[in-house]
Amino acid sequence: MIRLLIAAQSAIVRAGLESVGAQGTGIEVVGASGLAGLTTAIDRHQPDVVLAAVEAHRDEPPEDLIALAARDGAPAVVLLAPDLQSTWTGDALRAGIRAVLPGDLDPREILAAVEAAAAGLVVLHPQDIPALVTDRPLPTAQTQTLTPREIQVLAMLAEGHGNKTIAWKLSISEHTAKFHVASILSKLNAGTRTEAVTLGIRRGLILI
C-alpha cells in the first residue's frame, strides 16, 4: 500500500487531489497539508509519496519542496504545476523530485505518476523531455543522446505501436521508422524494444 500525502495551499485543490488519490488501487491517502506545514505533516503521517500542487505563474522553482526532496529519507515528491516551467524542471529533478507535471492531467495519469514515484522512477511530461535531454545526455555506455524524434518514437514503442503505426502517426516512411527504432536500441544499448522502453522509463525519458 502506497501512503500518499496531499499538499497544496488551496483547500479546494487539496480536496480535489484527495479525491483523485482515493481512486487509486493500492494507494491510501494518509493526510493533507498546506505547503507551509508540509514538513510537520510528513513527520506525522510518514508518507511514501507527497503529491504537491504549486500555484500558477511561478517563475522560480519551489525551493521549499526542492529542499524537502533533497533530505535524507524524504518521501518521493510528485509536483503538479499549472504553468509548467521547463527552465526549472531540471533543477527540481536533480534535487530529487520524482515527477514534474502539468496540473491538468487526468486522474489516471496522476495516479500512474504516484505509483511510478513510489517505485523509484522519474516521470516527465513530454514537452520537457527534449530540453532536458539536450542539457543532460543519457548515462549510457556510449553517452549518446536521443533526438526529440527518437524520444517520440520511444514513447510510441511504450504504447505498443509497431513500425507501420509509428510511421503513420509521424507522417514518415516505414523505413525511416525502422531506422529510428534501430538507433534507439543502439543508443540505449538495448537488445529489444521492451528493454528500450524499460530503460526509457527508468531514465525519465517517457511518461508512463
Read off the amino acid at residue 105: L
Indicate where the chain has its CATH 1.10.10.10 domain(s): 131-202
Of 56, 47, 119, give the one whose Cα is nearest residue 85. 56
Look at residue 120 and tell me whether its pLDDT is greater than 60: yes
Q: What pTM value is reported for the model?
A: 0.61
CATH of domain 2-124: 3.40.50.2300
Report how far apart, in Å, the C-alpha atoms of 76 and of each of 17, 49, 58 are: 16, 5, 22
Q: Tell me: the pLDDT tens digits for 158-206? A: 888 989 999 998 888 888 888 888 888 888 888 888 888 888 887 777 7
Indicate where the chain has its CATH 3.40.50.2300 domain(s): 2-124
CATH 1.10.287.1080 assigned to 131-202:
no
Characterize the bridge pairing of strands 99-102 and 76-81: parallel
Instruction: Please give the Cα distance from 159 to 51 (Å, whole number).
Output: 25
- Residue 200 Cα to chain centre, angstroms: 12
